[in-house]
Amino acid sequence: MNHTDHVNLIRTGVSPSNGTWADLGSGEGAFTLALVDLLPEGSTIFSIDRDSRALDAQRTAMQRQFPASKVTYQMADFTQKLALPPLDGVIMANSLHFVNDKAPVLELVRGYLKPGGRLILVEYNIDHGNTWVPYPMSFETWAALAKQNGFAETRKLSARPSRFLGEIYSALNINEA
């Protein structure tokens, strides 16, 4: 996938107004870059990952492609409590499938989001994993899990074929808390 694919997967889930977002498990920043491309100037993004080298690569790409962007990089584990301000949105792209027990993470995420805040999930549309993607979730499984963990209706935003595990989709949930 390329930058255009990343943008298109999340475009309809990102609010067009300024805001504060977090990319949890951001890696080298493919979806952080997509967020910067979609959010209006003045928005802030917190990019969270455990891998300092991935964050350094992301910072370099961001400075090259979007030098005026406001991104704060944090080396941290998103499965643990993070020091974040109230968020308008969270993206979890290809990160939640590394977590077996997802409920505690979703509780943290709901706690970061403002009422009406958005959670965008990008995930492989399959319920069995492998060594590299241990705990993926089909859209149907995600919709049920999100509802069990207090998120409002799950809406599928987009999907595209993937060489790796068949299909990748994006979904939107709204925090009604």
Tokens 């979609």 locate to 38
Give me the pLDDT at residue 18, please.
Answer: 77
| Domain assignments of the chain as residue spans, ordered by start | 3-174
Q: What is the pLDDT of residues 99-115, one digit of tens each?
A: 999 999 999 999 999 99
Give me the pLDDT at residue 1, please.
Answer: 84
- Identify the three-state secondary structure at position 146: helix
Give percent above pLDDT 70 in the chain: 99
Q: What is the pLDDT of residues 141-166, one digit of tens each?
A: 999 999 999 998 899 999 999 888 88
Q: What is the pLDDT of residues 6-36, one digit of tens each?
A: 999 999 999 878 799 999 999 999 999 999 9
Give me the pLDDT at residue 17, please.
Answer: 80
CATH 3.40.50.1370 fits 3-174, yes or no: no
Q: CA 142, 125, 130 angle in degrees (round to 5)? A: 105
Strands, E assignment, the chain: 20-24, 44-49, 71-75, 87-93, 113-124, 155-162, 166-174
